Structure 1
Amino acid sequence: MDTGLVTTLIVVGVVVVVLVIIGIYLWVTDNALVSLKGRVDQAWSDIAVHVQERAELIPTIVDTVQGYASHEKSVFDDVSRARTETLAAGDASAASTAEGHMQKALKSVFTVAEGYPQLQSSQGFLQLQSELVDTEDKIQSARRSYNGGVRELNTKIRVFPNSTIAKKRGFAEATFFETAEPAAIAEPPRVQF
């Protein structure tokens, strides 16, 4: 065999191997980004489900407390506004703001409830409180899962050469589900009776 032909075959072989490696890398990176985006979307969906559960529970809690403390109208109006804001939030940024307002409003309702011993001993109210705490725990768990996925997706998008692939494929960094007051959502509203 001619040494020129062997050299050409080696060069072509190396080029083909490099192109295959680049192609595999692009394919793996694209699949990873799609998978991470799917994980973030699923986690956001979980948050939305739990927020909806809480929104369905809040009117019953408000009605129960309002039966004892009807003069606390501003507290109940705040909860109603926070509930509406939470349900209307379309993205993580708006939901973060709404969540801070909701936590403050719920704490106000339970602070009012503390002043009524008959309410505190009511089985119905205790059951509602237990359901709310359970729902808040689910929201916090879903929030942690969502934020973990966002952190992973954003890191993958920022790293070169993934950033060029992500940009060309239309992947954008996701927004964390946070609040301006982390203490407001650090612990679900709990009232000890």
Structure 2
Amino acid sequence: MNFKMNNGLKIALIVLAVILVIAIPIVGSYNSLVNLEQSVNKAESNIDTQLQRRSDLIPNLVNTVKGYASQEKDIFTDIANARSKLAGATSVTEQADADNQLSNALSRLLVVVERYPDLKSNQNFRDLSVQLEGTENRIAIARQDYNAAVTNYNTKRRRFPTTIISSLFGFQEKPLYKASAGAVEVPSVDFNQQ
């Protein structure tokens, strides 16, 4: 009878070993996907932080420019609308579109500034411009970091056998942060224009 218990124990150990051989890679793949997904979430949050910083700077910049260029109401309206759209964005794609609209409106504002030499010499405007430029650089870096995290996550998610685990546990593909269609076109610059 002792002999049969040993056979039963052997079978149990073999079954346990097979379960472990299957379970360990599944758990490892799952945990890897969770870590990569959290990296994507963190990178997305970093973009949000920098966009909020820029959004906080814009009213001060607009108010400074308004004193000099009050007739440029369309630009101020476009900036306000783009900020509202950015604040209400619920997805990375909506956020990217709103961010691009805001960047375009800010570019137009800076063109207006060129028409007002007194404004460019205003210390408050210069300080805000430097802060805005730094924030734009931080946003660009945050976008790059986000896209790198998304690429790592999506690549891992699509590799075999992780693709099975990602399907079983509902890990969805994440969208890359993309520039708007107009952002990839090279603007024409005429230096002879006064």
User: Shorter-chain TM-score: which interval?
Assistant: 0.7 to 0.9
In structure 1, C-alpha distance between the alignment counterparts of 2:79 and 2:182, rounded to whole Å: 19
Structure 1-normalised TM-score?
0.85
Letter in 2 for 1:155: T
Give the equivalent residue in structure 2 for 1:32.
32
| Secondary structure class of the residue paired with 2:67 | helix
Q: Partners in 1 of 2:83 and 2:97 — Cα distance?
A: 12
Match of 1:126, as an amino acid? R
SS at match of 1:173: coil
1:191 corresponding residue in structure 2: none
* Corresponding position of 1:172: 172
The match for 2:82 is 82
CA-based RMSD of the aligned residues comes to: 2.2
In the alignment, what sits opposite 2:3?
A: none
Q: CA deviation at 1:156?
A: 1.2
1:163 CA displacement: 1.4
**Other-structure match for 2:111:** 111
Supply the distance in 2 between the matched residues of 1:153 and 1:49 (Cα, whole angstroms): 21
- Counterparts of 1:86 and 1:176 in 2: how far apart (Å)? 17
How far off its partner does 1:75 sit?
0.8
After superposition, the C-alpha distances for 1:17-62 in whole angstroms (9 at most, x for unaligned) are 4432321111110110000011111111111111111111101111
Query: Mean Cα displacement is larger for which, 18-27 or 114-123?
Result: 18-27
Matched residues, number: 179
- Rounded to whole Å, the distance in 2 between the matches of 1:26 and 1:181 is 40
Map 1:38-187; keep pairs closer than 5 Å. Answer: 38-181=38-181, 183=183
- Residue type at the aligned position of 2:164: T
Structure 1 residue identity aligned to 2:150:
V
CA distance in 2, matches of 1:48, 1:38: 15
Q: Which amino acid aligns with 1:33?
A: L
The answer (yes or no) to whether the contact 1:99–1:179 under 8 Å persists in 2 is no
Q: Give the 3 Å change call, closer, same or farther, for CA 182–167 of structure 1 in structure 2.
A: farther
Structure 1 spans left out of the alignment, 5+ residues: 187-193
**Separation in 1 of the partners of 2:120 and 2:181?**
28
* Matches of 1:119 and 1:180, distance apart in 2: 30
Conserved 8 A contact 1:75-1:108: yes
Q: CA deviation at 1:66?
A: 1.1
SS of residue paired to 2:178? coil
Greater displacement, 16-25 / 145-154: 16-25
> Retained in 2: the 8 A contact 1:51–1:87?
no
Shift of 1:110: 0.3
Shift in CA distance, 182/31, structure 1 to aligned 2, threshold 3 Å:
farther
CA distance in 1: counterparts of 2:169 and 2:182, whole angstroms: 34
* Amino acid across the alignment from 1:100: N
